[in-house]
Amino acid sequence: MKRANFLAALGLTFLGAVFSSSKKAAILTDCGDPITPTVPEGPYYKDEKLNRPNIAEHKEGLPVTYLFKVEDSNCKPIAGAIVDIWQCDNNGHYSDYQQEKTLGETWLRGYQVTDKKGKVRFDAIFPGWYNGRLTHLHAKVRVEGKAPLTTNFFFPKEVEDKVYQHPLYPRGPNPVTLAQDFELRGDKDSHRRDTLLMQISHDEKGNMIAKYTIAIA
C-alpha cells in the first residue's frame, strides 16, 4: 500500500487565548497557560520502552534539543510523568514499520521520566516531513491515574523553512498547509496548531533548543 493511501486508510504556547475548531475558548491553568490540546496518535506509534535522552542514534540531521516541562492545572510541576516521543527522520520516514521498510530499527523514539521540577530533555535531529502532515513531533504523556495525553508539537514556519534549506534535508520546504494536514484539517483556524508551537532558541554553539510547557488538565 502506498504511503498516502496507508495514512488515509488509518483515518487519518505560547500564542494567547486558544480555541478549538468550534471556536470554544480553551481551559487555562491558574497561571494562564492553555491546557495542552490533543492530536490523534497517527499510524506510527510503538511502545518501544526505550528510556533514553538521546534518540537520534545514527540518523543525520541538524541537532535539536527538546526541553519539556509537565505541569498540572494549578501550574505545579508534575514529577514522575512519562514523556514518550517519536518523530520521522530527515527524509520523512519512521523507524520500526514494515510500510517504511524499517522493521527492527528504533531511531528517533524514546521516553524520559520528569524530575521533581517536571522537566525532561531529549537530544534528537530536526524532523523532516512527509505528504499530508505539517512538520511535527509526536508525544504521549502519561501521568499516574490519568489517561495518556496524545498530541503533536510544531515548529514556527520560518524556523523549519530555514532548516530545510540545508543539504541534509533534500526534500526542501514542506508545502503542506493546515487545510491539507491529515490530523488538523478539520480545524477551522490555526489556533490548535499555534497553541502547540514550540519556543525556539539556540545555545552558544548555535544548536537549536525547542521548549514547551505541557499543561495537563
pLDDT at residue 13 tops 50: no
Q: What is the pTM of this model?
A: 0.87
What is the model's pLDDT at position 26?
A: 66
Assigned CATH for 3-215: 2.60.130.10
**Are the beta carbons of 14 and 211 closer than 8 angstroms?**
no
Cα 62 to Cα 90: distance, rounded to the nearest angstrom: 9
> Which of 6 and 99 is assigned the larger pLDDT?
99
* Amino acid (one-letter) located at 75: C
Q: Do 185 and 43 form a contact (C-beta atoms < 8 A)?
A: no
pLDDT at 112: 98
Least confident of 20-29, 98-107, 135-144, 156-165: 20-29
Task: Look at residue 217 in the predicted model and tell me its pLDDT.
Answer: 87
Buried b (16+ CB within 10 A) or exposed e, 143-175: beeeeebbbbbbbeeebbeebbeeeebeeeebe
The domain limits of the chain are 3-215
Tens-digit pLDDT profile for residues 31-51: 888 899 999 999 999 999 999
